[in-house]
Structure 1
Amino acid sequence: MTTSYDCTAAEQRAAGLEHAQRAIRDHKCVVFPTDTVYGIAADAFSPLAVTLLLASKGRSRKMPPPVLIPRLNALDGLATDVPAEARRLAEAFWPGGLTLILHAQPSLDWDLGETKGTVALRIPADDVAQDLLTLTGPLAVSSANRTGQAAALTAAEAEAQLAESVEVYLEGGPRPAEGADALPSTIVDATAVPLRVVRQGAISLERLREVVPSVLGVGEEPGAAEPEAAEPEAAEDGAATADAAAGPGEPAHAVVPAETAEPAGNPEPAGPAQPAEHAEPAEPAEPAEPADRPSTGAGTV
């Protein structure tokens, strides 16, 4: 039976988080707010739960959800061969609107879909999301909407689309917060160096390059962006921008997200490398990716 909780009230928030934890343990789906849009979540290590999540959204295994984690030290437990540049970006922008596509730890027992050995990871900057992740551990998360529909900005909007496919709805008010732009997370493919932006979102290319100058923009080739030798204006002119409205909930994983919305996009651990899902209100077309790069999905939070 579906239950909704008003997390703006302390008592209901506590009861809702407890119920959501039980639902995740029982391989069911929950909806909760993130710093971008609302996401639908399932146990990242339960193939059954991930299958239910994808079915709820009307998505196939070709669009694996990203994985949200509670803290930075979970990075090395879920990903391997993490470039120093990716680690610097994580330290600078987590919690926040940055999804990193990385090589998934091969020893992990999970199945996020057709991730091609990648996973899209993010730490959301939202109190309700972080409280839930602290209770449950890593969650596969995609934007809380049916594929092709507008991303949900409240739990009530999510329930109107997902109905009883979700066990628990945690209502935390509008997301993003009033006055903020509804941007999906920025997705960076960190499976190879130089790092490359595959979806532009909440974190601008300029800000990324303040931390890692060699980051390539969407569609740029190596050597096209060399901020150290170019004037600031030139570097900015050379930065390609992607469709700012991607699905929330899950980035498509690098393939891959990222929530993959979001997210993946494999969000939005099994290898999501397709974070591309949070951008909403409408799930935009996925950006084209080079053949040797992981693919990104739509719906990343």
Structure 2
Amino acid sequence: MILDGTLPESIAAAARAVRGGALLGLPTETVYGLAADASSDAAVAQIFAAKGRPSDHPLIVHVADATGIGHFAREVPGFAQKLVDAFWPGPLTLILPRRPGVATAATGGQDSVGLRCPAHPVAHAVLQACSATGDGPKLGGPPVWGLAAPSANRFGRVSPTTAQHVQDELGADLLVLDGGPCDVGIESTIVDCTRGVPVLLRPGAISREQIAAVCGMQPLSKEELPALTPRASGTLEAHYAPAAKVRLMDAKALQTALDLLGADAAHIAVYARSALRTRSSKLVVRRMPDDASATAQQLFAVLRGFDDQAVKLIWIETPPATPDWEGVRDRLQRAAAA
């Protein structure tokens, strides 16, 4: 069931559902999430079951504001606090040391927790509505609600960026709040803050350069600390994959492949920035924007659209190797690895 997320009665219904242990399709500025009460192991178990996700693969916990950090994290390094001050609410997840006894199932049993404060007004309204009841979890202070909310899709598949995507993926019985298309379009940047220095686990809309400027130190890549990095959402080698096989190629290789296939090319989708010559009317061609942010915003919807057109292959022009394109490159490389 899809409800208009701008209506107060829809927010109230969503908050009641979550407080009652149900799942909720929740819009955020990044992608739509499949949300449940992070303090309830039973509710969180429903997320893993609905997605077909391994129970040791941690979920991100969403909080209404920075005051929620103290309920879930036992410490916040100075550089992490600077990131909170600069980018929350927004598309940034911080991995912090977890307080014992909280969000155990949502964190996959790890001693760390991923926290984010979403900027989407509907997500914020739901979190506020849950907290307003006064019956949330307490640790020596006011009630704190956290919503565990991975992307609302089957595990490893393309993330949803509209309410209809969520319903198509998970069924009409799920309550989904419609908050419109997601503004960012790819999942949040994830920074591990448990190692004394920032470690970029997943690139996103907030870039390495922005993180370095705020922290005063260049973030490491997870490959530099492979044995020390905690598990985090969306960091598997193969992820974000449509049903069709994805292949990344530069413009020259794409054109060569199209020339070789000629007029017989069929069941193939092409997503590219470069102007390409095609001789087949059976190809599905979509132009990739020149701007990284615009590409991120439409990326998952484009991949889902290609699946809807029953193509078997998706040929994509490799994005530029520049910092602003890192989040898009990451998603496409993982999609191609699936």
Q: TM-score, normalised by structure 1?
A: 0.69
Of 142, 151, 162, the residue aligned with 1:143 is 151
The residue aligned with 1:183 is 186
Q: Closer, same or farther in 2 for the Cα pair 1:165/1:152, shift >3 Å? A: same
Letter in 1 for 2:3: Y
Alignment of 1:70-219 (within 5 A): 70-108=64-102, 110-136=104-130, 137-164=145-172, 166=174, 168-176=175-183, 182-219=185-222
Shift of 1:213: 2.1
Letter in 1 for 2:151: S
Instruction: Report the Cα distance in structure 1 between the residues aligned to 2:217 and 2:107, rounded to whole angstroms.
Output: 31
Instruction: Report the Cα distance in structure 1 between the residues aligned to 2:87 and 2:165, rounded to whole angstroms.
Output: 29
Give CA-to-partner distance per residue, 1:57-93, whole Å, 9 cap, x none. 1101121211000011111221012111111111111
4+ runs deviating over 4 angstroms: 219-222
SS in 2 for 1:27: coil
Q: How many residues align?
A: 225
In the alignment, structure 1 segments of 5+ residues that lack a partner are 223-253, 263-277, 283-297
The residue aligned with 1:54 is 48
SS in 1 for 2:70: helix
Q: TM-score, normalised by structure 2?
A: 0.62
CA contact (8 A) 1:261 1:279 kept: no
The residue aligned with 1:66 is 60
Answer 1 or 2: higher relative contact order, Cα 8 Å, separation at least 6.
1
Q: Closer, same or farther in 2 for the Cα pair 1:34/1:86, shift >3 Å? A: same
The yes-or-no answer on 1:255 pairing with 2:230 is: yes
Q: Closer, same or farther in 2 for the Cα pair 1:54/1:279, shift >3 Å? A: farther
In the alignment, structure 2 segments of 5+ residues that lack a partner are 131-144, 236-296, 304-333
Letter in 2 for 1:173: G
Q: Closer, same or farther in 2 for the Cα pair 1:280/1:31, shift >3 Å? A: farther
SS in 2 for 1:142: coil
SS in 2 for 1:143: coil
CA contact (8 A) 1:120 1:256 kept: no
Of 32, 39, 42, the residue aligned with 1:45 is 39
Instruction: Report the Cα distance in structure 2 between the residues aligned to 1:162 and 1:44, rounded to whole angstroms.
Output: 20
The residue aligned with 1:230 is none
Shift of 1:215: 3.6
Task: Give the fraction of aligned pairs with identical amino acids, expressed as a percent.
Answer: 35
Shift of 1:52: 0.3
Cα RMSD after superposing both structures = 2.5
CA contact (8 A) 2:15 2:126 kept: yes
